[in-house]
Amino acid sequence: MKIVLIFNKSFPCTTGQYILKILEKENEVFVLSPKDNFQKIHEIQPDFILVIDDSSHYILDVNYHPKVIWIIDSHTSFICDKVMVKSFDIVFVAQKEYVEKFKKYNQHVYWLSLACDPDWHSKQNLEKIYDVAFIGQMGRGWRRKLLINLKKDFPNSFISSADCKDIGKIYSQAKIVVNYNVNNDINMRVFEALCSGNLLLTNKIKDNGFNELFEDRKHLVVYNGTYRDLKEKIKYYLENEEEREKMAENGRNLALSLHTYQQRADFMVKKILELKNEKFYDYSNLSYSLMKLNLFIRFLFWKVIYLRVWQVLAELNALLRFK
The pLDDT tens digits for 158-208 are 999 998 889 999 999 999 999 999 889 999 999 999 999 999 999 999 989
In sign, the C-alpha dihedral spanning 211, 212, 217, 222 is negative
Is the Cα dihedral 241, 246, 249, 254 positive or negative? negative
CA distances for 90 relative to 4, 28, 56, angstroms: 15, 21, 18
Per-residue pLDDT of the chain (323 residues; tens, 9 = 90+): 999 999 998 887 889 999 999 999 999 999 999 999 999 999 999 999 999 999 899 999 999 999 999 999 999 999 999 999 999 999 999 999 999 999 999 999 999 999 999 999 999 999 999 999 999 988 778 888 899 999 999 999 999 999 888 999 999 999 999 999 988 999 999 999 999 999 999 999 998 999 999 999 999 999 998 999 999 999 999 999 999 999 999 999 999 999 999 999 999 999 999 998 899 999 999 999 999 999 999 999 888 887 777 676 666 665 666 77
Average pLDDT value for the chain? 93
Enumerate helices (H) and strands (E) in the chain, giving the number of each.
Answer: 14, 11
3-state helix/strand/coil string of 257-302 = HHCEHHHHHHHHHHHHHHHCCCCCCCCCHHHHHHHHHHHHHHHHHH
Helical (H) or strand (E) element with 309:
helix 307-321
- Which long-range contacts link 228-233 to residues 24+ away (Cβ below 8 Å)? 228/323, 230/146, 230/150, 230/178, 230/201, 230/203, 231/149, 231/153, 233/201
Q: Could you tell me the strand order of the sheet in which 199-203 lies?
A: 157-160, 130-135, 174-179, 199-203, 221-223
List strand residue ranges (DSSP E) for 95-223, in order.
108-111, 130-135, 157-160, 174-179, 199-203, 221-223
pLDDT tens-digit map of 28-50 = 999 999 999 999 999 999 999 99
Q: Are 69 and 54 in contact (CB under 8 A)?
A: no
In order of start, what are the domains of the chain with their CATH numbers?
Answer: 2-115+261-311 (3.40.50.2000), 118-258 (3.40.50.2000)
pLDDT, residue 72, reads 96
pLDDT of residue 172: 95
Query: Which pLDDT value is given to residue 165?
Result: 87
Q: Could you give the angle at the alpha carbon of 163 between the alpha carbons of 200 and 314, nearest 5°? A: 60
Q: What angle do CA 106, 110, 112 make, to 5 degrees?
A: 135
**Spatial contact of 292 and 87, defined as CB atoms under 8 Å apart:** no
pLDDT reported for residue 164:
84
CB 222 within 8 A of CB 234: no
Sign of the CA dihedral with 94 first, then 96, 97, and 101 last: positive
pLDDT value of residue 312: 65
| Per-residue confidence (pLDDT) for residue 302, from 0 to 100 | 86
Q: What is the DSSP string of 112-125?
A: ----B-HHHH----
Report the relative pairing of strands 48-52 and 2-6 from DSSP bridges.
parallel
Please, where are the H alpha helices in 4-137?
A: 15-23, 41-44, 74-84, 99-102, 118-121
What's the pLDDT at 315?
A: 62
- Phi, psi angle pair for 115, to nearest 5°: -160, -165
Predicted local distance difference test score (pLDDT) of residue 187: 95
User: What pLDDT was estimated at residue 137?
Assistant: 87
Report the DSSP beta bridge partners of residue 28.
2
